[in-house]
Each structure stands twice: as structure tokens, then as C-alpha cells.
Amino acid sequence: MNRIVEKFTQLRNAGKKGFIVYIGAGDPDLLATLELALAFDKAGVDILELGVPFSDPLADGLVNQLAAQRGLESKTTPPKLLETIVAIRRQSQIPIVLYIYFNLIHKVGMEKFIADGARAGVDGLLVLDLPPEESDNYEALMRKNGLCHIYLVAPTTPEARMELIVKRGSGFIYYISREGVTGMQSKVASNLASQVAKIRAHTKLPIAVGFGISNPEQAKLVAAEADGCVVGSAVVNQIAEHGKSPELVAKVSAFVKSLADAVKKL
């Protein structure tokens, strides 16, 4: 069974919510990515999203744009990232999703990229700029290789299109709780419960909510409504703050554990 599917099945059976963390791969370097992944697994992270560095990350706010830039500066490429995932797999079975822009897949060739990812130990792809209407071949290749193709639903998505998206997705549905780009917010969107309920009416897939969650209180509020919450920019900001400090992994994983604990207390 795919690790993402297996993880959400375990969580549902235990009556627990999922905690997903996003970081930029190769920020500040790939050794740090490896060490952070292993530390996050121990800290209670259920699924790890790795942003593949790209020169034009249009869905991302400043914090994650700068992480992508640092990843490019550390010479992180998709093949090098897959080598790092192979190294993670020697010590951990944490489910891994690549958060990626389609140009990077197209450059390698879709069939090869997906097959290489599956071999390395990737469990799913979240392709930011590939709409379901143009994904027939992509979805077939993902199914063939046992990977989850994860789609985004936004607050502005019309209900008819939402129904189409969630029927095409696998693994989980990623609900973007706010309009605009990634980034930390001071409060949770007021219409979160009604939006999650609207998505649930069309799918049995787990619903994970992200974009803007930045502290344990917000993580707990989101997890109470959804099947899981995603924290990205707040963790990436910690990585930026501690940079190449010898305490990088300890400091960031302590912050991540505070978020995981808040989600798991539900």
C-alpha cells in the first residue's frame, strides 16, 4: 500500500488527525534536508512535503521563494533530491510528497520522472501548475507507479469544478484555506468549517488544510475541522532563521514538535 494512503488509514482508525510539514529541499543544503526529515519523523510529522527548488515559484510567497532560491544556490536538482530520498528511506518510512512545478517534470520527461521518483521512495506528487483537465496521461503513469496524485482546491474554486478535482485526486485533497500565495497568517480563515464540509460532500479522501498556519493554536483549530493540517512557511522561516547553525535541526524540530503535539492532542 502507498505510504500516504496507509498513514491516513492508520490515523483514521486511531481517531487521530494528520500533521504535514513542508520544507524547501536543499535549504540550506541536502544534508540538512536528510537530517530534518529524520528528526521530523521522530517529532510526530505524519507526511513530509519537499518543495523542489524552481526559479519561478509562482504559487509561493516570499518565505518559500527565498527557500527555493537557497535550494538552487545549494545546487539541489531533482536527481540529487531523489538520492537524498533514497538516503532517508534507509532510516525512515515517513510518507514523502514532492511539491513541484511541471516544468521540472517536463524537462526530465514525465514517464521517467515518475518512475525514478517511485524507485527512490517518493509517495506522491503535488504539481502546482498542472490542472486535472490536462492530467490524463500523468494520472495513468502515477497509478502505474503506485504514487498519489494530489490536487489543490482553493476558496475560489466553483463547486462544480471542486467536484471534478476531488474525483480525480488520490492520497488526500489539499485545501488552500486562503486566496493568494503561501505565507504565515495571524488567524485561521473564518469560513474553514463550511468549506471543508463542502469538499467532504464530494469525496471520501482525507482533506488536509494548508497556507497560513503558523503556530500550535492555529494548527489545532485547523485539525479540528479537517483530517490534517499542513504547516510550511512557519517551518521554512525557522530554517531561514537558524541557517547553518549547528543547532538548526534541534531548534527546527523542537518547533515542529510543538505543532505536532497540538494536532495530536485532539
Catalytic residues: 49, 60
Residue 121 CA to residue 87 CA, distance in Å, equals 10
Question: Rounded to 5 degrees, what are φ and ψ at 265?
Answer: -75, -10
Three-state DSSP class for 266?
A: coil
Q: Helix (H) and strand (E) counts for the chain? A: 12, 9
Alpha-carbon gap, residue 46 to 40, rounded angstroms: 9
CA atoms within 13 A of residue 97's CA, in its CB half-sphere: 30
3-state helix, strand, coil in the chain (%, to 5): 50, 15, 35
Count the alpha carbons within 13 Å of 2 in the hemisphere toward its beta carbon: 23
Alpha-carbon distance of 216 to 192, in angstroms, equals 17
